[in-house]
């Protein structure tokens, strides 16, 4: 298994050395190490190390790092106990590889086939942040931190509550912002178009469709704000963000795609991406 592991990890690395040029005559070419890695993996292998690449740009790495270090410490403790009990390091390593070989995947982690593949391998597949936070409250996880004296069970549960509350608060702000954008920009834009042409453009959702979206958002937001349990509150916020808001976004996108640019008051992707350096350019 150890040899298989090395072969599996190195098979995707392309060990040949590459030569790079800066494109400037006075600076000579230089070689770069062949340490490419699978950038679709949360833990890609880089030749002599593993990297962790899964934290989002707005997320603080401190708690994630605490979890990873605690997991490693628990595993190293188990290895040390076996080796001190008489087992060789090679035997312990081979045993660990046999037990967890199914976790090694060198394919496309972003591909649509990977979730099904993960399920068939018996791996955890958690589809949202709310569900991931809830797993922190599982007894086996609270005991892990407690046993290694990293955090007591109440401290772990408190962190889960803070994350539930933070998630909910973020979604509430996003939903209220969306309601304001529809009311203050998109509905008036459609009304201006109707006033000019007598009807919205062909295929363009009307004012009634947009008002229906606002009503759905406000109803869902009310359910979230009325819930007292933090975990249940976060679960409702997840539905609001990933289902209700997504449904309303499709209606707004349809309006933007069909409404004449002269009536649209929000920044478009064209303006944000291509016209920022040319203020006089027409949309």
Question: 3-class secondary structure for the chain?
Answer: CHHHHHHHHHCCCCCCCEEECCCCCCCCCEEECCCCCCCCCCCCECCCCECCCCCCCCCCHHHHHHHHHHHHHHHHHHHHHHHHCCCCHHHHHHHHHHHHHHHCCCCCCCCCCHHHHHHHCCCCCCCCHHHHHHHCCCHHHHHHHHHCCCCCHHHHHHHHHHHHHHHHHHHHHHHHHHHHHHHHHHHHHHHHHHHHHCCCCCCCCCHHHHHHHHHHHHHHHHHHHHCCCHHHHHHHHHHHHHHHHHHHHHHHHHHHHHCCHHHCCCCCHHHHHCCCCCCCCCC
Q: How confident is the model over 180-229, as pLDDT tens digits?
A: 999 999 999 999 988 887 777 888 888 999 999 999 999 999 999 999 99
The domains of the chain are located at: 2-125, 168-266
Q: How confident is the model over 145-155, as pLDDT tens digits?
A: 999 999 999 99
- Residues of the chain below pLDDT 70: 1-17, 32-36, 47-48, 275-283
């Amino acid at each position: 298994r150890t040899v298989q592991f090395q072969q599996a990890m190195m098979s995707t690395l392309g060990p040949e050395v590459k030569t790079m040029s800066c494109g400037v005559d006075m600076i000579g070419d230089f070689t770069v190490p062949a340490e490419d890695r699978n950038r679709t993996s949360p833990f890609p292998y880089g030749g002599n190390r593993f990297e962790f690449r899964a934290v989002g740009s707005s997320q603080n790495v401190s708690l994630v790092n605490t979890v990873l270090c605690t997991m490693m410490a628990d595993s190293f403790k188990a290895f040390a106990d076996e080796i001190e009990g008489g087992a060789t390091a090679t035997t312990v390593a081979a045993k660990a590889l046999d037990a967890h070989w199914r976790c090694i995947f060198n394919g496309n982690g972003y591909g649509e086939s990977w979730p099904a593949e993960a399920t068939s391998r018996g791996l955890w597949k958690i589809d949202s942040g709310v569900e991931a936070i809830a797993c922190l409250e599982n007894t086996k996880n609270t005991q892990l931190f407690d046993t290694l004296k990293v955090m007591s069970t109440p401290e772990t549960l408190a962190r889960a509550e803070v994350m539930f509350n933070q998630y909910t608060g973020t979604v509430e702000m996003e939903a209220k912002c969306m309601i304001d954008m529809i009311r203050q920009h998109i509905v008036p834009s459609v009304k201006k178009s109707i006033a000019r042409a007598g009807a919205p453009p062909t295929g363009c959702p009307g004012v009634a469709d947009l008002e229906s979206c606002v009503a759905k958002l406000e109803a869902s937001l009310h359910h979230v704000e009325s819930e007292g349990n933090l975990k249940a509150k976060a679960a409702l916020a997840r539905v609001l963000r990933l289902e209700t808001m997504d449904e309303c976004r499709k209606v707004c996108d349809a309006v933007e795609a069909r409404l004449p640019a002269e009536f649209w008051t929000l920044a478009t992707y064209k303006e944000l991406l291509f016209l920022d350096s040319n203020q006089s350019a027409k949309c």
